[in-house]
């Protein structure tokens, strides 16, 4: 988007992320106190599918889209909390009641997509919820794109390596080598990628020339 | 709270904040009247616990900064902690931080765009699921699906237009344009919009123009020679107050969705209208915002009778789930979200400038202020059947 | 990180992002009112290098790390605000006073890294500031990684294409083709990449066999 | 505020919230005493504007939920809007939402970990740039750079240990371990830690153990036969109250950094200590938290004399930048962050259980509660020169 003039252009449709807000599955990991109740009530007011749990679960239940986490209380519980910050299972909204560097560091390590301060106030929760989920989805897309590109680079390199093995050991030129891999793939109903891997593996076992 | 605790004849002091001047005075004056009428009625009947309600009145003149300053003054020096007031969302937002900081209570008698909840506010006007959906359905069934959107330039029209766009698009209709005018508009501001309407010939004009701009717009429409039969203006805000302001000629034939019109056919409403005219003049008219301002004082009074104290905490508890026989029908504060169960209606302005009610809900509709995706099914399922 | 037991492990160093907080250059785009002043005062208390501006600037000044933006007021100003959400120049913290879908949609379109509700309260600002900057830095790294990988895929493809052109038109085998490209690159003090591009361009102009 | 406005002899009612029982009562009782002494002195001198200060006292018993409930009760039913109280960060955080919601004022007389600012709090204890940095420098200059960190399991020790780790690492030192015990510890909880200390032989033990656990830890250290000469415990929290609790034998030779010790050599302090003993008993001792509790009442009284009203808004304005000749030296509320300019000192416990002041700042140090990266340069640059 080049510029922001108004929130929407004429007749623009409401974004997917917002339309689906009532299908979001939210897990609140927070002690059962006033703040926890206020948070839960407001998430239900917004209309999300919300459940709360305390103490922190040893394992995250499946099918959760957004987790709200009471940070200090999880830390003080001195119990291992499972959260793979590099490949998280859900968007994370961290609830903080202190913001000294120890606590902020914990927020950074968890790579939370949103931060909410105690005491809970209803205003701002909706925007933080939707924004956190959008940031999470956005990062996951970037991560998937990186994985695909890395796979692609590997795949090209493997195909080249397999072709070279065939050229070196069978005296084929590049075109012939490639045609041999492709016809093998078609015969065996496998991908050229899989054939390339098979050739590389075989060459290692049989001690063929690789370069 | 000193004001809520003293001797047994000491009045219950409450703040009243409606504009007597400025761009939204046309409608806010009727909200002020509705508030005062209810207070006078309650006092005439002996007050609450033998003590009268005493309104502490300030005029913010349609200016948001004045709204905030007067709210702070009411909650500070005046030691009031219940306030009736506000029309535009801007004024509500200006007042809200002071209300929350003092843990006071605001009664807000105006339709608005939803997506707000404060433990310190009671919302008695319509949420979008109580007027937008019904208006969209009526207009598409009776007039067509090509919509032209015109609004004042602020948050309420933005969000109302989003909802209307979604509903129209969902039904295969089309929004041909979305235009905004400044809040303090001049008649000439509408020239370009009228020209565009003439050019695009929509089947429905959806107006979220508010305040004195409303009369400017309807008059410009009339001056352009457009016909309400083929291209009516549909609105959520144009009510009896604006009709009086613009005159019958400009108003006739246009459509509004609201939980209340002066023409509601019930004993409770006939009595309300009669007392209103007796008090403020035979030529005066009630309207949806005036009625909400009126019945919310009664909701407050019922709660106060139960608590016999003015603190927000206990008043709030007494208010949640409370019911009252309002002029529009029975209403109820939703304990989940502090908004009000209301009765959606569609009115068309007749040759006398009165709203002929052409459709009305057969049951109250629960408010859902956080609903993002409205669909026409909501209306039919919530309403059961509609009367024509 | 596999689990979160405490905010820090014994003797762990304070993270870079936090250590450098007083060198963060923050731009506040907010009207000069009570909230704007409260925000500015607290950012100065935290110790950031802070400046405020209103109305929204037509162009962002250079060398800004984090922008605080008063959303509704920028929208109502009906003035184009420059923000490339796909390649933003700084981390963005949006200040909201309404959270209806029109406003939330605007937050999503800007892909803000943090959302703060009015009225401004000091508590939570620090954590949101640091977290927003970390999320921004993190996403930028992912974007750069994607760019590099895409470049790499392109580069491998180009080198293969150049080799094939040489093999087809000069009767070279693959090794010879590669050696030719490499020696050209060394002679001309260019990258093999640049030589490959030159070969491809030349072959297009001269109408050589490409596949 | 009814309590702040009535007749001219009506007392100024203020809340006082310190624990008389529970894990932190050892120190909070002295904060209570400091508060009461100051109030009695002010009242004996004629009060403020001819009206006495009346403390409204509750005992939260070191329990955070009780702190919150009593704070709500003080601000609600008791109609108080100035509160003196809290030792641990947990109790301060428990009280804070109620204080902010009512726009009241809390005076907090305890060192803490920083990173907080509320318009409704005045912080009169040391921030980390007023004690941690000075302690790190002194210990590394005099004892070594291999540190063992022991703390109670909550926020204050986490953050204090982070700062200490950074300072030690920056100087090429090493943190050999970082261990926590629960707040309601038993003596046996320290067994494992003592064994680890014996094993790792650090040069400095940095303790952020608080409350009654402090005596348990120092006694365990003594029982293990460790020598303060080669491996002292350095602390920010162990003061005269804890020394009295554990006895001289366990305390002797250990080091604490604080803006105040009972041994401060000034007329103002000698008078303070004399009056304190006269009031509470010859065997009683002042300390940094007690002194802060004492002088903050005077800061409040000065502000009240200027405003002659108890509302937070005007009191706050009068407090910012205010100065007072405290027992530790002149102090000043920093208008930027509501914390206090204080006088960093290092004390070593002598054979009588008194703190021998071995180093002190030659100028007050401005509080910087949001400083993340402390360096030893701060101390020397802020202090000019140090006395040995």
Has residue C211 been placed in a domain?
A: no
- Kindly determine whether residue B149 and residue A10, on different chains, have CB atoms separated by under 8 Å: yes
Q: How much is the average pLDDT of D256-285?
A: 96
- The three-class DSSP label of residue B274 is helix
B368/C contact by beta carbon, under 8 A = no
Interface test with C, best of B88, B91, B95, B97 (most C CBs within 10 A): B97
In the complex, which subunits touch B with 3 or more CB pairs below 8 angstroms?
Answer: A, C, D
All domains of chain D in start order, with CATH: 12-126+265-341 (3.40.50.2300), 129-263+343-385 (3.40.50.2300)
d(CA B147, CA B201) in angstroms, rounded, equals 9
D153, D182 Cβ separation under 8 angstroms: yes
D219 lies within 8 A of chain B by CB = no
Determine, for residues B115 and C72 on separate chains, whether the beta-carbon distance falls below 8 Å. Answer: no
Inform me whether the pLDDT recorded for B203 exceeds 80.
yes
Q: Residues with Cβ < 8 Å from C24, sequence gap 6 or more?
A: C48, C49, C65, C66, C129, C133
pLDDT score for C202: 85
pLDDT at D6 over 80: no
Same domain flag for A179 and A132: no
CB B65 within 8 A of CB B94: yes
Question: Closest approach of chain D CAs to the CA of A30, in angstroms?
Answer: 16
How far away is chain A from the Cα of C198, in angstroms, using its nearest Cα? Answer: 22
C206 CB contacts (<8 Å, ≥6 apart)?
A: none
Is the pLDDT at B327 greater than 80? The verdict is yes
What average pLDDT does range B249-272 have in this prediction?
96
CB contact under 8 A, D159 and A101: yes
Optimal mutation site among B97, B100, B129, B158, interface C, most CBs of chain C within 10 A: B158
Residue C54 shares a structural domain with residue C131 = yes
Q: In terms of domains, do A122 and A161 share one?
A: no
Cβ under 8 Å to A: C residues 42-71: none
pLDDT, tens digit (0-9, with 9 covering 90-100), for B5-64: 445 689 999 999 999 999 889 899 999 999 999 999 999 999 999 999 999 999 999 999
For residue D29, give both structure tokens: 């009782």
Query: Is pLDDT of D2 > 70?
Result: no
In a domain, A4, yes or no: no
Assign B114 a pLDDT band (cuts: 50, 70, 90): very high
Q: How many CB atoms lie within 10 A of CB D171?
A: 15
- A115 in contact with C, Cβ within 8 Å: yes
Euclidean distance between CA atoms D29 and D284, whole angstroms: 11
At B43, list the tokens: 């006092």
- Torsion on CA atoms C77, C80, C84, C90, rounded to nearest 10: -50
For A176, other C-beta atoms within 10 Å of its C-beta total 14
Mean pLDDT (whole number) for A148-163 = 87
Does the distance separating the beta carbons of D116 and C18 come in below 8 Å? Answer: no
Contacts of C58 in chain A (CB under 8 A): none
Looking at the complex, does the CB of residue D113 fall below 8 Å from at least one CB of chain A?
Answer: yes
Closest by Cα among D297, D119, D108 to D305: D297
Q: How many residues does chain D have?
A: 388
Query: Which residues in chain A have their CB less than 8 angstroms from residue C29's CB?
Result: none
Clarify whether residues A162 and A122 are in a common domain. Answer: no
**What Cα–Cα distance (Å) separates residue D361 from each residue in D139, D273, D291?**
16, 21, 18
Q: Which chain A residues have a beta carbon less than 8 Å from that of D116?
A: 98-99
For chain C, say whether D277 makes contact (Cβ under 8 Å): no
Res. A201 pLDDT band, cuts 50 70 90: confident
- Take residue B193 and report the two structure tokens written for it: 């919009």
Q: Compute the average pLDDT of residues B51-80.
A: 95
CA nearest to A76 within chain D:
D154
Q: Mean pLDDT over residues A184-189, rounded? A: 88
Chain A residue numbers touching B370 (CB-CB < 8 A): 45-47, 126
Number of domains in chain C: 2
Task: Tell me if C163 sits within 8 A of C174, measured CB to CB.
Answer: yes
Residue C171 lies in a domain: yes
The rounded Cα A180 to chain-centroid distance in angstroms is 39
Residue C54's contacts (CB-CB under 8 Å, 6 or more residues apart) are C29, C30, C31, C32, C36
For D75, the closest chain B residue by CA position comes to B1
CB A168 within 8 A of CB A130: no
The chain-wide mean pLDDT, for chain B, equals: 92
Show which of C109, C139, C169 is a domain's final residue: C139
Do residues C78 and C158 share a domain? no
Query: Does residue C1 belong to any structural domain of this protein?
Result: no
pLDDT in tens, A86-122: 889 999 999 999 999 989 998 998 999 999 998 899 9
Digit-by-digit pLDDT tens for chain C (211 residues) are 223 434 445 446 678 888 889 999 999 999 998 899 999 999 999 999 999 999 888 888 889 999 999 998 888 776 677 788 888 999 999 999 999 998 999 999 899 999 999 889 999 999 999 999 999 999 999 999 999 999 988 888 888 888 888 887 887 777 788 888 888 888 988 888 888 888 888 888 777 665 5
Whether residues A33 and A93 fall in one domain:
yes
Q: A199 to each of A182, A188, D206, how far by Cα in Å?
A: 12, 14, 62
DSSP B186: -
Q: First and final CA of chain A: distance in angstroms?
A: 49
Put simply, the answer to whether B117 touches A19 (Cβ < 8 Å) is no
Contact A126 C4 (CB under 8 A): no
**Touching check for B370 and chain A: CB below 8 Å?**
yes
| Residue C161: inside a domain | yes
Q: Which of A106, A139, A172 is the last residue of a domain?
A: A139
Confidence of residue A6 (pLDDT cuts 50, 70, 90): very low
Residue A176 included in any domain: yes
Domain residue limits at C47:
13-139
Residue D102: count other Cβ atoms within 10 Å of its Cβ. Answer: 21
C14 close to A (CB below 8 A) = yes
In this complex, which of D89, D116, D372 lies closest to A101 when CB atoms are compared? D372
Say if A186 falls within a structural domain. yes
C131 and C162, same structural domain?
A: no
Q: Give the tokens for residue D59.
A: 């005992």
Is the pLDDT assigned to residue D185 strictly greater than 80?
Answer: yes
pLDDT tens digits, one per residue of D324-377: 999 999 999 999 999 999 999 999 999 999 999 999 999 999 999 999 988 886
Burial B311-345 (b: 16+ CB within 10 A, else e): bbeebbebbbebeeebbbbebbbbebbbbbbbbbb
Structural contact between residues D252 and D229, judged by C-beta atoms closer than 8 angstroms: no
Q: Kind and range of the H or E element at D359? A: strand D355-361
Contacts 24+ apart (CB under 8 A), A111-118: A111/A85, A111/C134, A111/C135, A111/C138, A112/A69, A112/C131, A113/C135, A114/C114, A114/C115, A115/C114, A115/C124, A115/C127, A115/C128, A115/C131, A116/A68, A116/C124, A117/C121, A117/C123, A117/C124, A117/C127, A118/A35, A118/D97
State the nearest Cα–Cα gap between C101 and chain B, in angstroms: 7
Peptide bond into A55 cis (omega under 30): yes
Number of residues written out for chain A: 211
Considering the domain architecture, whether residues C66 and C159 belong to the same structural domain is answered as no
Nearest neighbour of B2 by CB, restricted to D2, D101, D102? D2
Residue B352 is classified by DSSP as T
Q: How far apart are CA D257 and CA D235, in angstroms?
A: 7
Question: Which residues of chain B make contact with A13, given a CB cutoff of 8 A?
Answer: 165-166, 169
Q: Is residue A7 part of a domain?
A: no
Q: What is the ipTM of this complex?
A: 0.88
CB contact under 8 A, C106 and A7: yes
CA-based nearest distance C117→chain B, Å: 11
Total beta-carbon pairs less than 8 A apart between chain C and chain D? 48
Q: Which is nearest to C94 in space by CA: C30, C32, C17?
A: C30
Q: Which residue has the tokens 């009060």?
A: D47
Q: Token pair 């004082």 is at which residue?
A: B297
D61/C203 Cα distance (integer angstroms): 87
Pick the residue from chain D with its C-alpha nearest to B77.
D1
Same structural domain for residues A135 and A159?
no
- B386 — pLDDT class (breaks 50, 70, 90): very low
pLDDT at D251 exceeding the cut of 50: yes
CB contact under 8 A, C173 and A157: no
Tell me which DSSP letter residue B326 carries. Answer: E
Q: Is A72 on the interface with D (CB under 8 A)?
A: yes
Of B175, B337, B371, the CB nearest to A10: B175
Which of these three, A82, A106, A139, is where a domain ends? A139
Is C122 in contact with D371 (Cβ distance < 8 A)?
no
Neighbours of chain A (3+ CB pairs under 8 A): B, C, D
Picking from B166, B202, B172, the residue whose alpha carbon sits closest to that of residue B378 is B166
Between chains, do B158 and A46 touch, taking CB under 8 Å as contact? no
Q: The domain spanning residue C178 has which CATH number? A: 1.10.10.10
Which tokens hold the place of C177? 């083709």
CB–CB contact C42 D162 (8 Å): no
Nearest to B115 among A8, A13, A126 (CB): A126
- Asked if residue D49 lies in contact with residue D238, where contact means CB atoms within 8 angstroms, the answer is no
Q: Which of B156, B124, B127 is nearest to B293 (CA)?
A: B124
Distance CA D380, CA D384 (A): 6
Choose between C145 and B381: higher pLDDT. C145
Q: Alpha carbon of B39 to those of B53, B367, C61, D185, D277: distances in Å?
A: 6, 26, 56, 61, 62
Contact B201, B231 (CB under 8 A): yes
Q: Which two tokens stand for residue D362?
A: 């030659």
Q: Spell B39-52 as b/e; 16+ CB within 10 A means b.
A: bbbbbeeebbeebb
C98 reaches B (C-beta below 8 A):
yes
Give the closest-approach CA distance of C110 to chain B in angstroms: 18
CATH of the domain at C74: 3.40.50.2300
Residues C135 and C164 placed together within one structural domain of the fold:
no
Instruction: Check whether residue A133 and residue A158 sit in a common domain.
Output: no
Tell me if D145 sits within 8 A of D172, measured CB to CB: yes
Can you give the pTM of this predicted structure?
0.88
Token digits for C153? 């895929």
Residues C96 and C183 in one domain: no
Closest CA to B154 of B84, B61, B83, B62: B62
Q: Which residues of D touch A103 (CB under 8 A)?
A: 155
Buried b (16+ CB within 10 A) or exposed e, D348-370: bbeeebbbebebbbeebbbbbbb
């Amino acid at each position: 988007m080049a510029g922001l003039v108004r929130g929407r252009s004429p007749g623009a449709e409401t974004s997917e992320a917002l339309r689906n807000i009532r299908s979001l599955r939210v897990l609140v990991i927070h002690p059962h106190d006033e703040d926890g109740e206020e948070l839960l009530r407001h998430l239900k007011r917004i209309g999300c599918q919300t459940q709360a749990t305390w103490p922190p679960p040893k394992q995250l239940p499946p099918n959760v889209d957004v987790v709200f986490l009471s940070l200090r209380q999880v830390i003080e519980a001195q119990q291992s909390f499972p959260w793979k910050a590099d490949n998280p299972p859900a968007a994370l909204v961290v609830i903080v009641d202190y913001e000294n560097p120890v606590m902020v560091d914990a927020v950074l390590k968890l790579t939370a997509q949103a931060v909410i301060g105690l005491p809970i106030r209803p205003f701002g929760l909706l925007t933080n919820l939707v924004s956190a989920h959008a940031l999470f989805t956005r990062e996951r897309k970037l991560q998937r794109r990186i994985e695909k590109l890395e796979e692609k680079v590997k795949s090209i390199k493997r195909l080249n390596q397999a072709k070279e093995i065939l050229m070196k050991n069978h005296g084929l030129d590049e075109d012939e080598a490639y045609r041999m891999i492709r016809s093998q793939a078609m015969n065996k109903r496998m991908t050229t990628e899989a054939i390339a891997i098979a050739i590389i593996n075989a060459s290692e076992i049989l001690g063929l020339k690789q370069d | 709270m000193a004001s809520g605790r003293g001797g047994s004849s000491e009045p219950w002091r409450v703040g009243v904040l409606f504009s007597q001047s400025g761009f939204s005075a046309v409608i806010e004056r009727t909200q002020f009247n509705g508030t005062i009428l209810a207070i006078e009625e309650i006092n005439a009947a002996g007050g609450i616990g033998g003590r009268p309600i005493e309104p502490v009145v300030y005029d913010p003149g349609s200016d948001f900064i004045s709204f905030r300053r007067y709210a702070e003054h009411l909650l500070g020096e005046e030691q009031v902690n219940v306030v009736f007031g506000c029309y535009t969302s801007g004024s509500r937002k200006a007042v809200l931080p002071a209300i929350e900081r003092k843990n006071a209570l605001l009664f807000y008698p105006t339709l608005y765009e939803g997506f707000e909840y404060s433990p310190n506010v009671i919302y008695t006007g319509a949420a979008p699921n109580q007027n937008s959906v019904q208006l969209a359905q009526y207009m598409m069934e009776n007039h067509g699906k090509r919509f032209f959107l015109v609004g004042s330039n602020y948050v309420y029209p933005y969000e109302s237009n989003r909802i209307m766009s979604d509903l129209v698009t969902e039904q295969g209709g089309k929004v041909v344009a979305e235009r905004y005018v400044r809040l303090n508009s001049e008649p000439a501001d509408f020239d370009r919009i009228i020209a565009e309407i003439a050019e695009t010939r929509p089947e429905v004009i959806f107006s979220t123009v508010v305040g004195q701009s409303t009369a400017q717009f309807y008059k410009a429409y009339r001056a352009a020679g457009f016909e309400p039969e083929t291209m009516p203006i549909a609105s959520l805000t144009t009510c009896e107050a604006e009709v009086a302001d613009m005159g019958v000629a400009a108003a006739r034939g246009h459509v509004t969705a609201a939980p209340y019109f002066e023409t509601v056919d019930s004993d409770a409403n006939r009595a309300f209208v009669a007392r209103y005219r007796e008090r403020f003049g035979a030529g005066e008219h009630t309207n949806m915002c005036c009625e909400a301002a009126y019945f919310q004082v009664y909701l407050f009074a019922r709660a106060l009778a139960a608590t016999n104290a003015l603190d927000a905490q206990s008043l709030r508890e007494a208010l949640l789930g409370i019911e009252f026989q309002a002029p529009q029908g029975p209403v109820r504060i939703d304990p989940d979200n502090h908004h009000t169960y209301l009765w959606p209606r569609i009115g068309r302005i007749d040759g006398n400038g009165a709203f002929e009610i052409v459709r009305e809900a057969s049951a109250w509709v629960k408010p859902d202020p956080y609903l993002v995706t409205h669909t026409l099914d909501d209306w039919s399922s919530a309403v059961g059947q509609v009367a024509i």
